[in-house]
Structure 1
């Protein structure tokens, strides 16, 4: 098989107030898995959006096997054999269409141009074939709106590899996936590599990069830093090149004084996943909600925030039973949520930084006649931008132009003004680089020092160990066990998250046996 070389030479691009890329060079070839990494805001996703045709106002040159490419639209990129799977899956799927219709979308549009009619049985048969090949256990006729985040990610990958492509760009593909789903994705990637497809792999998870990739390109502040073979570098070296400095201890060290119980949840069930679940959290305490994808972490968070219906059980706040039937009720009572899907549920991407930071508490900035005091609103935004170290050209910059880490800081910052009692974080570091993670950990730790009760839901067991005081491990919508973080480890958490039971007792041999079963 002949090897094709792709070169991006001196690529630059600007947005209002932001120079996102500055003379960046990037080179890769078919038959290799090439990691592209950098801190949030480094420009890696922007560079790939240039390559995939999403941005066409760039300067520089793109060549394939020495021939210049004119990429002005996503169709141009696809015609050259370049496909991309974006991190934000809901922006690329049509929720009211079936899985099969989403997978076959490009082929359906092209065929309708020629014959105006669609053979629906043929469409679903072809979609089922690709689903079977990828071992995705979802019906082709299921609506995309009914899928989990992980399933949506796999549907996008299925669509991308349906057509022959020379280069496949995967932007944070494992962020919503479980360990078993990630293993399956790696199998697919290695198959594509063996078939002479070039994979460009964007991720913040260094262990998986060193497991999967052949080469790594590092960017910082919109510029090229280095390109090396994975075998000739190390994780510590990569982090230092990403940040331009050595990484300090990630998790904050502080003495926490645990106060009175703030939140009590008794026998809570919802319409989706949660079943007779009981937890509690005290003032100054960070309580982990651990579990694999599908365990019910997100469902619990949404139920407590009023965005999904509670069917039974009760919630007590500061000793008094409360009723929550909507997010408005939750915020009014003093419970706030930073959701997993920040672009879809946590921020207003088309609005400015100042609007996003003030939207959760407009009463603070309105007068008697409900006019917004713009000067007061801007002053508060400037204060938050400084205290949270949000990288933005101005308070008026649209949030969609900021990096994932800065968007997450805004999703958190808007709730700081409300001064709630309970802060719920659902996968708060997903798609966030190691530097921004440290800032987020400091923010969360600061809330605990202020006497807030914090729920920290994550499938990253290392983060659960590093940031929390206690942890509830969920399995199939129920609490499998409750552990004191200082007296447990990642293996024990994973044992219970994978379905291990208390009567079995935890041991390394039990955990290894469970891993083999999975």
Structure 2
């Protein structure tokens, strides 16, 4: 494989517009062989457009791409792959064929291009796949069907594919968003291996701690321009956030003051499935109570049980002193409970429906008369939510599938705001959301608290809980093991109890 070996892949003076609106404005970006380079920016900053040009999905209006001093122009992803540029997207299933084996997926291009060959040596193919899998540290049978793999294993198969195809540049787009801590550690070891072999790695992420752990250089984009490129050791997180947002680090976690009143939401002895094993908690009016825990602690299962999506075996839940009916999500909503789920595209929104219809879905009865929907009332409600939540969309008719992750999440929240919900459950609400949209979501949650709503914020992102919550509850192995008032805990404290799960071990 021809390696960059310190020479740069260089994008020079790249510009791109959509419908006359500039998305990229004369951007320069470079990455060296044997380097992990973070590309950061809020949604709309232009990083995705830049990478789509590099990977051949878009054509630049101006600018050049050079690899090792040789100039390229890509008219398709196939052109980019031939030049050694490969992209591993967060949505891994779009790049894999589920009913084929690991070997077939790794060597898909080779199999497809083997025209004229009467037969393939399958044993040799599987042996070569096994060698590749071992090389990247993945203990997996090459004969396994991809549909039977976990999400992290599918990512590793895509990485094995780019190694097999002798990639010079690997673009990893939000690869850690769906992974556990252990899976992320394994991915980082593989990224270090790619770096050691001379491959240039472009790492797109919203998680700054990962950037400072794994990356050599950092580039930040804002409003279609490159605003910063710096060696990791010469910059800190505060400066990166300031470059991304154009505002200070302290504003990343805006905390609005709210009056905290009487107990609004009470959960006692709740058991649901194998991962909720006797949860007790309370949330007061105007309070943001965070439930933190590692992957597998039971946070998502707790949120689903509290919203009636999964059956409750035992325990009581009360809203405003009245026992809540949790037989179904509709019953939970009637009891005053709303859920913004972790998997927004699967459970929070209808991606093939418009922003208008998504925002009005829970309130159809209130904007209908004699079974006939009032289009004017629906439009008025949608316009109010779009303006109030700062949803960036070309119009109310836009399909939610084409909104950014942060704006999809705002729609997922906004659909509940016209209901009579008193308790809002947020399960990992900033997953896959850029820093700018996170700040918007934090402000929306703060405004709900100011209105006297009760907020239960379930997250594995400890800094968010520390910055946002009035009280933090640590969950481990299906139970709440520790409670901290605001200002009492550090990230280390939270991690200790989330890992050990027993106060007597302290």
Scaled by the length of structure 1, the TM-score of the pair is 0.84
CA deviation digits over 1:400-437, x for unaligned, max 9?
A: 44333222222212221223122111111223333322
Indicate which of 46, 66, 77 corresponds to 2:49. 46
How far apart, CA to CA, are the structure 1 residues paired with 2:475 and 2:158? 28
Aligned mates of 2:18, 2:263 — CA distance in 1: 49
Contact kept, 8 Å, 1:153 with 1:176, in 2: the verdict is no
Distance in 1, matches of 2:377 and 2:430, equals 30
Deviation at 1:308, TM superposition (A): 3.6
Aligned to 1:266: 269
**Which of 213-222 and 231-240 deviates more?**
231-240
Residues 23 and 100 (structure 1 numbering): CA distance in 2 closer, same or farther, change over 3 Å?
Answer: same
Contact map agreement 1:474 1:481 (CA 8 A) in 2: yes
**Aligned residue number for residue 389 of structure 2:** 388
Note closer, same or farther for the CA distance 1:495–1:356 as it changes in structure 2 (3 Å cut). same
Which of 167, 170, 175 aligns to 2:169? It is: 167
Contact 2:265 2:317 in 1 (8 A): no
2:462 match: 461
Listed one character per residue, the Cα deviations across residues 133-160 of structure 1 (whole Å, up to 9, x for unaligned) are 5455677677766766555555554554
Match for residue 55 of structure 1?
58
The residue aligned with 1:256 is: 259
Asked if the contact 1:263/1:453 (under 8 Å) is kept, the reply is no
The answer to whether structure 1 residue 86 and structure 2 residue 89 are counterparts is yes
Is the Cα contact below 8 Å between 2:106 and 2:157 reproduced in 1?
Answer: no
Checking the alignment, whether the CA contact within 8 Å between 1:103 and 1:127 is kept in structure 2 is no
Query: Judging changes above 3 Å, is the alpha-carbon distance between structure 1 residues 358 and 119 closer, same or farther for their aligned structure 2 residues?
Result: farther
Superposed displacement of residue 98, structure 1: 7.3
- The separation in 2 between residues aligned to 1:121 and 1:357, in whole angstroms, is 54
Q: 1:76 aligns with which of 63, 76, 79?
A: 79
CA distance in 1: counterparts of 2:319 and 2:121, whole angstroms: 56
Contact preservation (8 Å) 1:265, 1:279 = yes
User: Who is 1:5 aligned against?
Assistant: 8
Tell me the CA shift for residue 456 of structure 1.
0.9
RMSD: 3.3
Asked if 2 retains the 8 angstrom alpha-carbon contact of 1:357 and 1:410, the reply is: yes
Decide whether the 8 Å contact of 1:17 with 1:393 is kept in 2.
Answer: no
Instruction: Give a deviation string over 1:26-74, Cα, whole Å, max 9, x none.
Output: 2222111111111221011222122223334755433323434343333
CA distance in 1, matches of 2:311, 2:136: 34
Residue range with higher mean Cα deviation, 22-31 or 190-199? 22-31
Matching residue of 1:243 = 245
Q: Which residue of 2 aligns with 1:302?
A: 304
> What is the alpha-carbon distance in structure 2 between the residues aligned to residue 92 and residue 342 of structure 1?
21
**CA 1:102–1:488 in 2, change beyond 3 Å: closer, same or farther?**
farther
Q: Does the CA contact (< 8 Å) of 1:93 and 1:102 recur in 2?
A: no
Distance 2:158 2:486 in 1: 37
Distance change >3 Å, CA 137–CA 474, structure 1 → 2: farther
Deviation of the 1:204 alpha carbon:
2.3
Give the structure 2 partner of residue 34 of structure 1. 37
Question: How many angstroms apart in 2 are the aligned matches of 1:442 and 1:370?
Answer: 35
Q: Aligned partners of 1:332, 1:129: CA distance in 2, in Å?
A: 56
The residue number in structure 2 matching 1:423 is: 424
Aligned length: 502
**1:310–1:134: structure 2 CA closer, same or farther, 3 Å change rule?**
farther
Q: Is the 8 A contact 2:260 2:284 kept in 1?
A: no
Mapped contact 2:35–2:195 kept (Cα < 8 A): yes
Following the alignment from structure 2 to structure 1, what is the Cα–Cα distance between the partners of residues 170 and 200? 6
CA pair 276-98 structure 1, distance change in 2 beyond 3 A = farther
User: What is the CA–CA distance in structure 2 between the aligned matches of 1:302 and 1:180, rounded to whole Å?
Assistant: 25
Q: Which runs of 5+ in 1 are unaligned?
A: 506-518
Query: Within 2, Cα distance between the matches of 1:330 and 1:359?
Result: 16
- Alpha-carbon distance in 1 for matches of 2:171, 2:410: 27
